[in-house]
């Protein structure tokens, strides 16, 4: 639901149903709301059957890449004689994204349950939940939930009395955006610097501690429980546009908008109605100008593109962007696009692990040039330089942080070139001052 706002009638709260309901945080409260029934059901099934249900449901990774979850789980070969691991990626750091924070601080047991189901399905006895260090509140609630689950015999060497071993451990990060990249997360978990690894080998072959590993986002794992309870068909039917995008999706909305918050809608929901009805439209006296719909690393949409979008994996691509993590950053006509993009570039320059030259140098120079233009010191040649650097930063590095920095710059220059040129030609940025009634 539209936490912290009242739920909107057009939302479909499946995962967000108990946001704001403090009782749902305890084991007792969670059980009263039907908690751990899905785990009980899962432990009575063969792991391959769970994987098939998830495959059939069409659930795709909610962290950003949208890879089909059931297929990812099926890469974990049973009976290879090696320990398997599940890692839950709770390093939510993509600017604009704060849905996993709400999931963990309101429904921590949902994630414990999701981790236990996922671990069992991929033949793992241990799941690690890697939570970013700044998330003190989610860390606290997750740790309480894990403790309660152990005390109640839900986790441990005899999980729910089935004789199966399932351990879930909370691991606290220490401040690094890059640790949300799955191979960097594994390095960090092993006690290393969070540098991404070259793929292949892929995690399913050689992941954390060199063993077969699956890494799933918080929202993905939590979605497994309702899918098991209600069936793949129920989930598959929740799709308003493209049948390849199924289920509900949490969108966290921030920036220049009346009602920022976390909303849950069925895949394919019209973005225009989402922005104006659910989120309440722009602040008083302003107009929307641009939207970054999937966290800071996806292409910027013009308002026209955003208004024509149907909110699913394919729908955002069709309108010049990506679904990404579902972190919607809304920008109104009072903002300078050059300033916004310069700040995004600075973020990536700060967060580059500096392993690859293209990224280390590219993010730093992009930031310098963007800030020079922002401050009225740029030249028209700078735009070509930026595009040239962006090309050198794309598809040439170990991970996609470098590409992520290039994306908003390129889409910004393409779609808002007039704002860049105005600053270069010595015209200061004047926010549109609309008449306030």
Partner 1 sequence: MTPDLVGGLESPDYASHDRAAHDPYVPVFTGDVKRQLDELLARYPTKMATLLPALWIVQRERGWVSEEGMVEVADLLELTPAYVKGVVTFYTMYHQHPVGKYFIQVCTTSPCGICGAEDVVKAFLRHTNTGELGVTSPDGRFTVIEVECLGACGFATPVMVNEEFIESVTPEKVPDLLARLA
Q: Which residues bind partner 1 (CB under 8 A)?
A: 4, 83, 92-98, 101, 132-137, 139-141, 143, 167, 169-177, 188-194, 209, 252-256, 260-262, 296, 327, 329, 331, 335, 339-340, 343-344, 347, 350-351, 353
Ramachandran bin of 285, using left for φ above 0, alpha for ψ from -120 to 50, beta for the remaining angles: left
CB of 96 to partner 1, least distance (A): 5
DSSP summary character for residue 282: S
Least distance in angstroms from the C-beta of 109 to partner 1:
16
Q: CB-wise, 144 or 392, nearer to partner 1? A: 144
Question: Look-up: residue for tokens 């976390």?
Answer: 262
Measured from the CB atom, the residue of 235 and 263 that comes closer to partner 1 is 263
Residue 334 · residue 430 · CB < 8 Å: no
CA distance 260 to 252: 8
* Distance in Å, CB of 41 to partner 1, minimum: 27
CA nearest to 210, candidates 196, 190, 182, 180: 190
Given the complex with partner 1, which of 57 and 352 has the nearer CB atom? 352
Residue with smaller CB distance to partner 1, 133 or 395: 133
Neighbouring C-beta atoms of residue 13, cutoff 10 Å: 18
Shortest distance (Å) from residue 262 CB to partner 1: 7
Residue 187 or residue 394: which is nearer to partner 1 going by CB?
187
- When the beta carbons of 106 and 235 are compared against partner 1, the nearer one is 106
Closer Cβ to partner 1, 147 or 427, answer by number: 147
Q: How far apart are CA 207 and CA 214, in angstroms?
A: 8
Tell me which residue has tokens 């700060």. Answer: 350
CB of 290 to partner 1, least distance (A): 11
In the beta sheet, which residues pair with residue 327?
252
* Cβ–Cβ under 8 Å, residues 52 and 70: yes
- Are the beta carbons of 88 and 146 closer than 8 angstroms? no
Q: How far is the CB of 230 from partner 1 (least distance, A)?
A: 29
Q: What is the DSSP-derived secondary structure letter of residue 24? A: G
CB 129, min distance to partner 1, A? 10
Angstrom distance (rounded) from CA 284 to CA 300: 23
Residue with tokens 């039917």: 237
For partner 1, the closer of residues 140 and 234 by Cβ is 140
- Say whether 264 sits in a helix, a strand or coil: strand
**Minimum CB distance to partner 1, residue 14 (Å):** 20
Contact 99, 227 (CB under 8 A): no
Beta-bridged to residue 167, according to DSSP, are: 126
| R_g of the chain, CA atoms, integer Å | 22
């Amino acid at each position: 639901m539209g936490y912290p706002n009242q739920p909107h009638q057009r939302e479909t709260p499946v995962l967000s149903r108990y946001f704001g309901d403090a009782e749902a945080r305890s084991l007792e409260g969670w059980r009263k709301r039907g908690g751990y029934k899905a785990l009980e059901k899962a432990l009575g099934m063969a792991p391959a059957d769970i994987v098939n249900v998830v495959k059939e449901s069409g659930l795709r990774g909610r962290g950003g890449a949208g890879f089909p979850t059931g297929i990812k789980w099926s890469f974990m070969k049973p009976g290879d004689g090696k320990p398997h691991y599940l890692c839950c990626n709770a390093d939510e750091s993509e600017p604009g994204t704060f849905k996993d924070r709400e999931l963990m601080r309101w429904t921590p047991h949902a994630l414990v349950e999701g981790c236990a189901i996922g671990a069992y399905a991929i033949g793992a006895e241990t799941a690690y939940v890697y939570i970013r260090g700044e998330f003190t509140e989610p860390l606290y609630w997750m740790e309480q939930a894990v403790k309660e689950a152990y005390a109640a015999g839900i986790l441990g060497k005899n999980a729910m009395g089935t004789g199966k071993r399932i351990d879930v451990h909370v691991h606290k990060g220490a401040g690094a955006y890059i640790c949300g990249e799955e191979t960097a997360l594994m390095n960090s978990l092993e006690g290393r610097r969070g540098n991404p690894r070259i793929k292949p080998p892929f995690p399913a072959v050689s992941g954390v501690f060199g063993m077969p590993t699956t890494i799933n986002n918080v929202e993905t794992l939590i979605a497994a429980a309702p899918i098991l309870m209600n069936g793949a068909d129920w989930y598959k039917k929740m799709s308003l546009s493209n049948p390849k995008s199924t289920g509900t999706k949490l969108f966290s909305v921030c920036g220049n908008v009346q009602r920022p918050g976390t909303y849950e809608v069925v895949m394919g929901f019209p973005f225009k109605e989402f922005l104006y009805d659910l989120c309440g439209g722009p602040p008083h006296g302003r107009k929307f100008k641009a939207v970054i719909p999937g966290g800071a690393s996806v292409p910027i949409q013009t308002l026209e593109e955003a208004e024509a979008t149907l909110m699913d994996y394919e729908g955002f691509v069709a309108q010049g962007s990506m679904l990404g993590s579902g972190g919607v950053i809304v920008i109104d006509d009072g903002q300078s696009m050059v300033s916004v993009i310069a700040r995004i570039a600075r973020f990536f320059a700060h967060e580059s692990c500096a392993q690859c030259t293209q990224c280390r140098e590219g993010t730093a120079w992009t930031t310098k040039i963007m800030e020079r233009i922002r401050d009225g010191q740029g030249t028209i040649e700078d735009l070509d330089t930026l595009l040239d650097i962006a090309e050198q930063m794309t598809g040439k590095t170990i991970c996609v942080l470098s590409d992520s920095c290039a994306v908003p710059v390129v889409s910004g220059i393409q779609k808002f070139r007039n704002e860049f040129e105005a600053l270069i030609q010595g015209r200061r940025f004047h926010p549109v001052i609309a008449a306030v009634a």
